[in-house]
Amino acid sequence: MTTRRNVLMLAGSALVLAGCRDSDPAVAAGPVPDRLLADSERGLLRLGPFGEQVLGPAAAGFDGAHVFLARDRGLEQIRPDTGLSVRRTPLRDGWLPRVVSTDGRACALTRTGAADRPAARARTPLLVVRADAEREYDLPGVIEPDAFTADGTGLFVLDWLPATAPDHYRVRLLDLGAGTIQPLFSRDKRPLPAGAEEEMRGDGRQAVLSADRTMLFTLYTHQPGHRHTRDLLSGRPGDAHAFVHVLHLTDRWAYCLDLPHPFGEGPVAGHALAADGRHLFVADATGGKLAYANPETLSIERVVDVPVTKDAPAALALTADRVLLGVGDAVTVLDRNSGAVTGRWPVPFPVRGLALSRDGGRLYAGGPDRVTWLSDGAVRGWSAVPGLTALRHVV
C-alpha cells in the first residue's frame, strides 16, 4: 500500500509540474525560499530551501513555533525553523500528538485523530507529556484536547455530549494535577454555575493566538439556537450563527464575541480569522463582509464590504497597513485603516491558506498540490507540493 501511494504521488507530482508550467510559463519552479508548515494528505509538512520533509502524525502550536511528532516509538519535539530535534520521549504505539502548549513545553496526545464529529465512546484515554514528566488520564465520556493553559497546569478540552451519540460539546478545563474536569470561569472570573455552560453545535473553522499569547481566538460558524453563558444566566434567548470563542489562557475564562449577520450563514470554509496587537479580523467571503474587532475590549468596531466570492475557501494575512484576503483565484488587498479595496492580485489556483515571510517581502499562497509566492502583487515562484490541503505558517 505504501509503494502504491508513493507511485501515485510521483505521478501526481509530474502532472502538477506540467500543469503549472502551462499556467505560469514565465515563472520558474524552484525551492521555497522560507521555511513553511503546511497540512497535506500525507500529514504535516515542513517546506523550505532544503525541499520537503514529511512529519507525518504531528501537532504544531497555534503559531507554528513548536512541533511534536510521533515516530520510531517516540514523541519527538523539533524546531520547525531548523528541523533539529529538541528532545525525545519514549512512546508506546498508538498515541497521536494533538495539542501543543504555547511555550512548547507540553504536548497532549490521544488514541484517535482529530475529527469534525468524534465517535461515541464511554471513556477517553489522554496522555500529557511535559518537559519534566508525563501522565496518562482515563477520562469519562468523549473528550478532545483543545489548548493548554499558559502555566501548563491545565488543559482546555471539548466535552462532547451525549457520549453515546456526540453532536454538541462544551468547553471545560482538565486540572492536570488533580486529574478532574471542571467548568471554566466567566469573563469576570467567577466560576460558572451549573446549567450556565455553553453547549455548541457549530464548526470550529480556525484558531489563532492573540499578539501577547494570552488568548486563543477560535472562529465558530453555524450555531442555530445557540445560547451564550451570558444569555443562560440572564434568561435572554440566544440565536448566534457565528462568533469568536475567546479562551483566556492565563485567567481561564471564556467569552463569545458575536458576529453580525450575515456571518455564519454561508459555508464554513468561506470564513477566515486573523489577529495582531491592533485588531482581530473576521472575513465572510460568501457574504462579502470583513469585521474589525478590538482584541482588548472584545467588541466589533465596524464591518466593511469586500468582494463576494461564492463556494471558495477564504484566508487572511495582515501587514502594518494592509489586509490581504485570499479567496478563489485572487488575493484582494484592502487598506487597513479605511477598509477600501486597493488592489487585486491574481493567483493561478484556488487559495488554500496565506502566510507572510518574516520580513513581509513575500506572500505565500497555498493551493492544490503547490505553494506559490508573490512579491509586489506578482507571482515570483512556485513549488510543487503533492497533496497540499492548507498552508499554515512561515516559521
pLDDT band at 115 (very low <50, low <70, confident <90, very high): confident
Q: Please determine, for residue 254, whether its predicted confidence score (pLDDT) is greater than 60.
A: yes
Which residues lie across from 101 on neighbouring strands?
none
Q: pLDDT band at 65, cuts 50/70/90?
A: very high
Q: Is the pLDDT of residue 231 over 50?
A: no
- Could you tell me the residue ranges of all domains in the chain? 1-56+347-395, 61-182, 201-319
According to CATH, the superfamily of the domain at 61-182 is: TolB, C-terminal domain (2.120.10.30)
Instruction: Round to whole Å and give the CA distance between 145 and 123.
Output: 14
Q: What is the pLDDT of residues 3-23, one digit of tens each?
A: 322 323 333 333 333 333 334
Average pLDDT, the chain: 88
Query: ∠ CA(206), CA(244), CA(178), 5° rounding?
Result: 85
Output the pTM of the full model. 0.87
Q: CA separation (Å) from 50 to 35, 74, 266?
A: 9, 25, 40
Report the share of the chain in percent with pLDDT over 90. Answer: 76
33: preceding bond cis by omega (within 30 degrees)? no
Tell me the pLDDT band of 199, cut-offs 50, 70 and 90.
confident
| pLDDT range class, residue 239, cuts 50, 70, 90 | low
At 190 the pLDDT is: 78
3-state percent breakdown (helix, strand, coil) of the chain, nearest 5: 10, 50, 40
Residue 76 has pLDDT above 50, yes or no: yes
pLDDT at residue 138, rounded to an integer: 98
Q: Residues 316-321: contacts with CB within 8 Å, 24+ apart?
A: 316/272, 316/273, 316/274, 316/281, 316/283, 316/354, 317/274, 317/354, 317/355, 317/356, 317/363, 318/274, 318/275, 318/276, 318/279, 318/281, 318/356, 319/356, 319/360, 320/360
Residue-wise pLDDT for 202-221, tens only, equals: 677 799 999 999 999 999 88
